[in-house]
Amino acid sequence: MTARRTAAAVTALGFAPLALAGLAAAPAAAHGSMTDPVSRVAACYAEGPEAPRSAACKAAVAASGPQAFYDWNAVSIANAAGRHKALIPDGKLCSAGNSKYRGLDLARRDWPASRMSAGRHTFRYKGTAPHRGSFALYVTKDGYDPSKPLKWSDLEAKPFARVTDPRMRGGDYVFTGTVPRKSGRHLVYSVWQRSDSPEAFYTCSDVVFAGGGGGGTGGGGGGKQSPAPTPAAPTASAPTDDRIEKDAGKTGGGHGTHGGSTGGTGTTGTTGGTSGGTTGGATGGTAGDTSGGTTGGGAGDAAGGNEPAADGSASPLDRGLAETGGGSATPLIAVSGAGALAVGAAVLFASVRRRAGGGRHGR
């Protein structure tokens, strides 16, 4: 009996590492959304997915259903790999081509908006399951019309702010950027491209610059004033930590709810997978096309020698705050180690059985 118990224990020890290896190999769920300026999905979630207050959020919930807004931090494409423009068609930038979030693509002048002005601005991105990666922020061009579906060509070609592995403070990624001079209503589009996975997250934040109305079209700093809204668009508010914690059980969870798991809507004819082996590079190139993985700047990069780069170059301890789970080699190491342990356990198991058999024959 003792030998049998010993054999069972050895078998359990052999399979335990394999189970742990399976957990290590599973991708960590990285989620988040822009909260300064507040993204559309975060603003509507803060209003309440079941009974939003603003007309725009009511329309968005009617189009997408409440669950999309309980899952406010999961607007993503699992296999983006920097190919944002190839995977997300015009008119569906805010939903990342995911029909679950189609309400975010509604073309309206009355989306809840954040006030913004030109110059240095501190941006906040709530990282409910943080990971290493790069952020790139784009703003709409002068003449942007919020009553028309958002197209890639509506965004400035270069990001005005970009950062890699910013520090986390109070559950938020915090970094600064130089906002260009604008007037009236505009939109800030963010791309968070994970560097340890091809997954990327997207947000649309409606903003109103001083010198223009909350519901009119955006003009340049030196252009004529935008028409005043009738009525003025409501002010966007970010969800509180208490609300996020309270609603934790209502979120959809895993990546199976992400339209990005299938590489967007498929209207572009592009499927998932990596492009040239890159999994990063959300911070370079033209708007939405970062498959080259470059992090270089160029004309139009108003951030220049951006402070976020310094934040992202923090000590290893600080950088560790911006990630969960291991690197890309972690699953391989875990599986290899588990395999070695399993082989050893099998040998020990066989030895125990031989000894047990010998004991029975000897009696």
Please give the chain's pLDDT, 363 residues, in tens: 455 554 444 444 444 444 444 433 334 444 899 999 999 999 999 999 999 999 999 999 999 999 999 999 999 999 999 999 999 999 999 999 999 999 999 999 999 999 999 999 999 999 887 788 999 999 999 999 999 999 999 999 999 999 999 999 999 999 999 999 999 999 999 999 999 999 999 999 999 998 654 444 455 444 444 444 445 779 999 999 999 999 988 887 544 334 444 444 433 333 333 333 333 344 444 565 544 333 333 333 333 333 333 343 333 323 333 333 334 443 444 444 445 445 455 545 555 455 555 555 544
Q: Identify which of 335, 199, 204, 321 has the alpha carbon closest to the alpha carbon of residue 272.
A: 199
Residue in this structure with the two tokens 């296999």, named with its chain if needed: 79
What pLDDT, on a 0 to 100 scale, did the predictor assign at position 342?
Answer: 53
SS3 150: coil
* Among the four given CATH numbers 3.40.50.10860, 2.70.50.50, 2.160.10.10, 3.40.190.10, the one describing domain 29-320: 2.70.50.50
**Please, are residues 279 and 197 in contact by the beta-carbon 8 Å criterion?**
yes
What pLDDT, on a 0 to 100 scale, did the predictor assign at position 298?
Answer: 35
What pLDDT, on a 0 to 100 scale, did the predictor assign at position 126?
Answer: 94
Angle ∠(150,161,57) on CA atoms, nearest 5: 40
Q: Within 13 Å and on the Cβ side, how many CA atoms surround 293?
A: 13
Please report, for the chain, the start and end positions of each structural domain, with discontinuous segments joined by +: 2-22+329-362, 29-320
Compute how many other C-beta atoms are within 10 angstroms of the C-beta atom of residue 363.
4
Task: Give residue 286's identity as a one-letter amino acid code.
Answer: T
**Please, are residues 130 and 32 in contact by the beta-carbon 8 Å criterion?**
yes
105: which DSSP letter?
G
> How far is residue 103 CA from its own chain's centroid?
18
Residue 219 tokens read as 């003009």
User: Does the reported pTM lie above 0.85?
Assistant: no
